[in-house]
A and B are shown apart, each in its own frame.
Chain A
Amino acid sequence: EVQLVESGGGLIQPGGSLRLSCAASGFTVSSNYMSWVRQAPGKGLEWVSVIYSGGSTYYADSVKGRFTISRDNSKNTLYLQMNSLRAEDTAVYYCARDRNYPPVRHGMDVWGQGTTVTVSS
């Protein structure tokens, strides 16, 4: 079964750091494009970051320079290192298999259940 399971969320003070994990099963993370998407409480979805199968990474302007996406091929796991956290980073963070890249253009077809990050003093 194709599945993503996130972990690592929690309550953190402003300025702190947190690392989210996303363990995949049923497919290989390193052979796919993988994204993080977040959802602030009561709000819509916001794309955060992507890592290409080739290893290139991209970030939303709102997190550039503070967040780092990476993966561990031996563990088939995706990560999101979040530094200098702000109150506005409070959200549920989802990892997703991203098949929106050209020429495939097939949507984000596998999602994790999400992990909650709360930034507050």
Chain B
Amino acid sequence: EIVMTQSPATLSVSPGERATLSCRASQSVSSNLAWYQQKPGQAPRLLIYGASTRATGIPARFSGSGSGTEFTLTISSLQSEDFAVYYCQQYNNWPRGTFGGGTKVEIK
């Protein structure tokens, strides 16, 4: 099983600042990586697929990068609605895609 490790577990950021979230795979997953946003009591929402392609309707302040084992989600200027938990998911060995443990982005 491919293990996905996200860091940090919690990120404290002020509105308007940049947030950088990391995701590491235990082995190469090429660019087969997605990012999801989840707010309390809600379902996950697809933000990024293919490591760097924004899903439909996702604002340009969200960007993804990386390939192989190291990936980054950047939120360029945090808005109030961006405070949430973010998960990465590899699907290189689909259908057994695995998720990371999540990074909670909280208000500083």
List 10 extra interface pairs beyond A44-B101, A45-B99, A47-B96, CB under 8 A: A33-B95, A50-B95, A94-B44, A100-B49, A101-B95, A102-B94, A106-B50, A107-B36, A109-B46, A111-B44
Query: Once bound together, how far apart are the Cα atoms of A108 and B34, in whole Å?
Result: 9
Query: Once bound together, how far apart are the Cα atoms of A26 and B94, in whole Å?
Result: 25
Mark B37-77 against chain A: 1 for CB-CB distance below 8 A, else 0.
00000111110111000011000000000000000000000
Query: Once bound together, how far apart are the Cα atoms of A45 and B90, in whole Å?
Result: 12
Chain A residues bordering chain B, tally (CB within 8 A): 25
In the complex the two chains form, is A113's CB within 8 Å of B55's CB? no
In the complex the two chains form, is A47's CB within 8 Å of B97's CB? yes
In the complex the two chains form, is B95's CB within 8 Å of A111's CB? no
State the 4 A-B residue pairs at the shortest beta-carbon distance, nearest first: A107-B49, A100-B91, A111-B43, A45-B99
Chain B residues bordering chain A, tally (CB within 8 A): 25
Query: Once bound together, how far apart are the Cα atoms of A42 and B75, in whole Å?
Result: 24
Q: Quick one: given A44-B87, A107-B49, A108-B34, are A114 and B43 in contact (CB under 8 Å)?
A: yes
In the complex the two chains form, is A47's CB within 8 Å of B95's CB? yes
Q: Does B15 contact A (CB under 8 A)?
A: no
Q: Quick one: given A44-B102, A112-B43, are A105 and B97 in contact (CB under 8 Å)?
A: no
Instruction: Please tell me which one of the listed residues A35, A101, A107 contacts residue B55 in the complex, with CB atoms under 8 A apart.
Output: A107
Residues of A within 8 A of B102 (CB): 44-45
